[in-house]
A and B are shown apart, each in its own frame.
Chain A
Amino acid sequence: DAKTTQPTSMDCAEGRAANLPCNHSTISGNEYVYWYRQIHSQGPQYIIHGLKNNETNEMASLIITEDRKSSTLILPHATLRDTAVYYCIVRGFKGGTASKLTFGTGTRLQVTL
């Protein structure tokens, strides 16, 4: 499975866009990029995922570079409730079977007033 690299921590002012980068330079063609976040010690929460194209949902946007070696999660208007650890995960699917989901160390996003 491809490894991911994320900054350890980031700060963002409330109301501003939070842009969280992720490097996955060894990603292969059948691997998707997933984003989850974890608030305190709750279970991780799914945010968004994509393969090649940019994706948007009610929570966030995912921008994947053309060579797919990196991606950015965008929270358009961060609030204090978005303070959490954000995990970027790469997961492959082959022959109807998915590879195991491997969480890295994530980015601790701190949203401040």
Chain B
Amino acid sequence: KAGVTQTPRYLIKTRGQQVTLSCSPISGHRSVSWYQQTPGQGLQFLFEYFSETQRNKGNFPGRFSGRQFSNSRSEMNVSTLELGDSALYLCASSLAVEGRMVFGSGTRLTVV
């Protein structure tokens, strides 16, 4: 059974650019959530989707956005990148919002 797949694994972007990260959940999982992990702030919740609807949102500026498609795949977008956006971005999927989550290996974003 394939796990949660995040692409790309590594990414280097320049300040001011935008970036789109992709997450393919485990087959059958309908809930997808996103987290940002940095050494200083730890794991922080970004947003959570279930059946294409955003269910929860963390305390991040509007530059961070996401969406979920009908096949449960999800993307997150960060516009006008800042140096502080450099982080490991993790995606997790579960059967339902209340289910146990399975995390992907993450996308490591470096903003220069």
Contact = CB atoms under 8 A, between A and B. Distances in A.
Interface of A: 34, 36, 38, 41-46, 49, 87, 91, 93, 97-106
Contacts of A102: 45
B76 interface: no
B98 A101 contact: no
Interface stretch (B14-22, B66-74, B78-86, B100-108): B100-108
A43 B104 contact: yes
Task: Name the residue in A43, A97, A101 with the highest tally of chain B Cβ atoms < 10 Å from its Cβ.
Answer: A43
A99 B103 CA distance: 18
Given A103-B42, A103-B43, A43 B56 contact: no
B31 to A, nearest CB: 9
Nearest to A43: B103
A49 B100 contact: yes
A110 B78 CA distance: 36
B45 A42 contact: no
Contacts of B98: 91, 93, 98
Given A43-B90, A43-B103, A100 B45 contact: yes
A46 B102 contact: yes
Contacts of A41: 37, 88, 106, 108
Nearest to A38: B43
Given A49-B100, A93-B98, A100 B56 contact: yes
